[in-house]
Amino acid sequence: MKTLLTLLLPVLLFTSFVKAQVYEGYPEIKQYKSRLAKIDEYLQTDPSRCNSELDYLEKEAIRTGNSTLQGLTDIYRGTVFYYIGQNDSARVYFESAIELARKIDNDRLRSSASIRKIFVIDNSADPAILLRMMKDEYEDAKKRKDTSNMIYSLNGLATYYERLDSTSMCINSYMESIKLAQENKKQFEYGFLLNNRGLLKLRLNSPEEARKDLQKGLIIAKKLESSRLEIIIRENLGYYFMEMDSLERAEQEYRYALELSKRKNYSLLWFNSMVNLGVLERVKGNYDKSDSLMWNALELAKDTKLTYAISQIYLSLAQLRMEKKDFSGVEQFLDSAAVYKKYGSPHEIQSGIYQIRYQSLEKQKRFEDALIAYKRFRTFKDSLNNRGHIQLMNEMQLKYDVERAEKEKIEERREFERKLSEEQLNNARLRLNIGLVSGIFLLILGGLGIHHYRSRQKKEIEFSNALVNKLEDERSRIARDLHDGLGQSLVILKNKFTRFNPTESGVQHEIDEDFSNVIEEVRSISRSLVPPELRRLGLKPALEKLLLQVHENTGILVNFEICAIKDEEISQMNQVRIYRITQELINNTIKHANATALKVDLELKDEMLRLTYQDNGIGLDFEKSYASDKSLGLKSIEQRVRAMHGQLKFDKVEKGMRVRIKLKSGK
């Protein structure tokens, strides 16, 4: 049951992209919007009807030289092929759109095609590489503030995080995409994301939470009058009830989805509902009803040219025959599945054929033949995984080679434009005017430079004086600790030694305790100067201990992710500076921010060390605070960052304070 449903669900989820209206945001195709909207409608009802509209738009794109229209046409053709299960053809059109978008320097169009291309890559491919590709698309969309593509790439990230068993990252991706959809009032996207998150929760054994998401999504679908989204969510509610063994409720949802898809003539969803009902009847043991529904689904697939699904139906019929112990029928339907596998996902179909065959042989107690069939199945699966990994590696290499070439072309074009601009300015009169203006500008700039230099010099002198005063205060504190604490303890110890009488009971034990106290005082003063963990174990343990002490002593919630740092990566001196910077930021949070939580991230990536500090307090106006006479802490942070040749940035956030520090490793 779960196997067949799992095969159908990705189709239901990906079709939600169509409603995003890829053509929105391109003024150069304004006159074709009505036809593109019609293609959207056909994709939801009968994808085969898209071809005539796409043929017309393709001719218009060639006639008018409208490259954006051509790129959109390629994306829609790819989507049509995806709908009918021909992923290889879909990928060809998505790649064509990507290449065209790069030529016309249209990042939005390229991103829309690239995200869809990643989704049609073979499922046997390494999900870690797919995740990396989808991350790149998300970062690009984020830079452009392209909300739609941000939402869909986050949805993709959630998919691949789940395949990698990174549950927390998967949930975070869904949460971020849902937040974006709500903030930008994208109700349809909000609905299908709730549907996807509900399925995730169901797979994570949180059925009640899953049901809440699915029902909330269903309310949105009804409000939007989106029959397609309503059918998808009802199908998944049926899946939920099957998992809960509420087979009657599952049947109600499937039958409602079936009737609605029939009424709307959504052939693909009609087909899905019929197959799911067939699976349900098989689970209930009603093999004849299941058989009838599967044959009806097969006829529908052939009538509506859903050829990609025919092999899946034959596999389901073979599995049904196996459960009825009609083993000759099993082989017959497996042969039929093999004939039609070229129209769908050949690798997945062949894998299913091998799997059902060895299970059938096992049920027949032909264990030797079953073992041979099982070995074929495992060998085939392993070869698929290896092939997918190689394919993705080649894909990534090609992608970065193309991007590098495109960047070089852009730089060459900019250089040419710059030279052309300089030649056009070769006018004697214009040069004279520019010279006069430049002279005045230089005088003003010189005056401003002198003023800035003097102002900066004055601030540096003030900072130096403040730093000297702070150092003197620190020396005075250490002197007091030595005199009042350690000094007094040593005087007392000396007096005890002078009066020491070995015959007196308890005196030796008392002196031992005094020695221990003196040693602890020395260690305490040493720790206040440089944490011993930093000297002995390194930066990571020292920071972790500091943050845990903050939580224990203040009750502030602390979250941190700190990578291990080696001396050859960051020098000992710079490790001390990073520790003191973090300490200063924590002091600011405790004393001034009224925060309840803080977070510290320290990562070393691509030979760059990045420290990010954030709290949820009242925030910090950096410029105003820095100008204050009491800003010694902020200035000391800046001085330490400057000493490391790093970069310091205070971000403006809705709540609290966020500081980012970046420097190269090896310094």
Domain ranges of the chain: 306-392, 438-529, 533-664
Among 663, 623, 622, 625, residue whose Cα is nearest residue 644: 663
CA atoms within 13 A on the CB side of 369: 11
Per-residue confidence at 194, pLDDT binned at 50, 70, 90? very high
545-586 per-position pLDDT tens digit = 889 989 898 899 999 999 888 777 888 888 888 888 998 899
Residue 234: pLDDT above 90? yes
Residue 389: pLDDT above 80? no
In 395-468, which ranges are E strands?
A: none
Report the predicted TM-score, pTM, of the whole model to 2 decimal places.
Answer: 0.52
CA dihedral (142, 82, 389, 149) in degrees, to 10, reads 0
Range from 244-253, 299-308, 434-443, 527-536 carrying the lowest mean pLDDT: 527-536
Among 5, 84, 19, 9, residue whose Cα is nearest residue 46: 84
Residue 633 · residue 643 · CB < 8 Å? no
Class of domain 533-664: alpha beta
Tokens of 589: 């949070």
Dihedral (CA of 169, 175, 177, 183) sign: negative
CA atoms within 13 A on the CB side of 636: 22
Per-residue confidence at 3, pLDDT binned at 50, 70, 90? very low
Among 321, 284, 316, 282, residue whose Cα is nearest residue 297: 316
Residue with more model confidence, 215 or 396: 215
> Cα(261)–Cα(276) distance, rounded to whole angstroms?
13
Q: Give the per-residue pLDDT at 271.
A: 83
Per-residue confidence at 8, pLDDT binned at 50, 70, 90? very low
Q: Average model confidence (pLDDT) for the chain?
A: 79
> Cα(40)–Cα(575) distance, rounded to whole angstroms?
57
> Cα(149)–Cα(555) distance, rounded to whole angstroms?
40
Residue 7: pLDDT above 60? no
Per-residue confidence at 218, pLDDT binned at 50, 70, 90? very high
615-635 per-position pLDDT tens digit = 998 887 766 666 565 566 777
With residue 344 as reference, give the H or E element that holds it: none
CA atoms within 13 A on the CB side of 232: 27
Count CB-CB contacts under 10 A for residue 402.
13
Residue 463: pLDDT above 60? no
Q: pLDDT exceeding 70 applies to what percent of the chain?
A: 74
> Cα(419)–Cα(78) distance, rounded to whole angstroms?
41
Q: What does the DSSP 8-state code read for residue 285?
A: T
Per-residue confidence at 388, pLDDT binned at 50, 70, 90? very low
Region 144-166: mean pLDDT is 89
Residue 479: pLDDT above 60? no
